[in-house]
Amino acid sequence: MTKWGELWEKSLRDISVEAALKCLDDAGVDKVDSITVGTMSGGLFNAQEHLGSLVADYLGQRFVPATRVESACASGGLAVKNAYMEVASGLSQYALAVGVEKMTDVDGGDATFALATASDYDYEAFHGITFPGLYALMAVAHMKKYGTSLEQLAQVSVKNHHNGSLNPHAQFPCAVTLDQVMTSTMVADPMRLLHCSPITDGSAAVLLVPLTVAKKMNKPYAVITGIGHASDTIALCQRKDFAKLEVVEVAAQRALKMAGKTIRDIDFAEVHDCFSIAEIIVMEALGVVESGQGGPATVNGLTALDGDFPINPSGGLKSKGHPVGATGVAQVVEAVIQLRGQAGPRQIKNARTALTQNMGGSGASSIIHILEAR
């Protein structure tokens, strides 16, 4: 993956190709059979659609079939799934998945508009609510139902910024204190600025090949053994319980069943912490803890780097950044780095099995991958 942040000197195509070339160099491969590009909104952010062709062209892979896929902020996870299907079907031996978004080429209002298209525009964004507002509703519902506290929400950000401070690719590789989170600017009550993921430019890429090919490449690798994908209502108001994410529950059940695992077999997870409340609700939906226990578990250190179930060793979306189309691919990159034992000071001890959870909108879609070290 590229260094993430406000990359003023680089274009959408620049960062896409940079991540792809780093990936191919890591694998020792100079030609691919297919390319899948995950991007949420190249048109609104950069006035550039047709991203499959753009990436293939500037990567020097002329005539290679290239496809752009979109599932809002889960576009990167969908790109990895599509590359997996290319390999599993036999259509491709070397399938490249690239996730990319360049979000700073527009001002804050235009970025907010672009992101709002992932909601039910007619019934949500048109009436003024933004994603901080939607997740604030989820936070209030969770706090009322389970007694989750503001300090527990803030501890998610503190933990993830600590992890991100150890990640050289992170947009904000800096620690924050509980007091800094609790007193940061209010965005949508109770969501403050340091509860929210940032606007980010960035790209990430992974190469998928058949297991028989991987064994011959003399490179460290991980195996995708399970995939779960589900959709829910696009509008938050149409769900029975704002304090739950059933789409994550269903996707997790499918991925774990395919892998022949339970959540107790997973050593760590990269999850979609677009807002601090999201990590708490996601960990409950995955079955890491019971409903309502995500906040206390975070405060008690369960999800820390040295905890029993580390979550977001990369720093997550909160610290690493959230270039929406790239996030799901970068989660897989972190999982592979950890399973290779190459994560340096943020390395999870004895990591053998990982879960990545990527999500679109307020939980309208979710894609989960299970990866194992080999």
In a domain, 324, yes or no: yes
Question: Quick one: the chain helix, strand, coil %, rounded to 5?
Answer: 45, 20, 40
Give pLDDT tens digits along the chain (374 positions): 999 999 999 999 999 999 999 999 999 999 999 999 999 999 999 999 999 999 999 999 999 999 999 999 999 999 999 999 999 999 999 999 999 999 999 999 999 999 999 999 999 999 999 999 999 999 999 999 999 999 999 999 999 999 999 999 999 999 999 999 999 999 999 999 999 999 999 999 999 999 999 999 999 999 999 999 999 999 999 999 999 999 999 999 999 999 999 999 999 999 999 999 999 999 999 999 999 999 999 999 999 999 999 999 999 999 999 999 999 999 999 999 999 999 999 999 999 999 999 999 999 999 999 999 99
For 369, the token pair is 């991958």
At 340, is the secondary structure helix, strand, or coil?
helix
Torsion over CA of 82, 87, 88 and 90, rounded to 10 degrees? 130
* Domain harbouring 363, CATH code: 3.40.47.10
In a domain, 6, yes or no: no
In a domain, 3, yes or no: no
Max Cα–Cα distance, the chain, nearest Å: 56
Query: Which of 159, 173, 218 is closest to 321 using CA atoms?
Result: 173
For 100, the token pair is 């990319």
Show Cβ contacts of residue 61 under 8 Å, excluding neighbours closer than 6 positions: 31, 32, 35
Q: How far apart are the first and last CA of the chain?
A: 22
At 264, is the secondary structure helix, strand, or coil?
helix
In a domain, 7, yes or no: no
In a domain, 342, yes or no: yes
Task: Report, as residue numbers or ranges, the catalytic residues.
Answer: 73, 322
In a domain, 150, yes or no: yes
Enclosing domain of residue 71: 12-373
Show Cβ contacts of residue 46 under 8 Å, excluding neighbours closer than 6 positions: 11, 12, 102, 105
In a domain, 4, yes or no: no
Domain tally for the chain?
1
In a domain, 1, yes or no: no
User: What does pTM read for this prediction?
Assistant: 0.98
Burial pattern 130-148, b for ≥16 Cβ within 10 A else e, equals bbbbbbbbbbbbbbeebeb
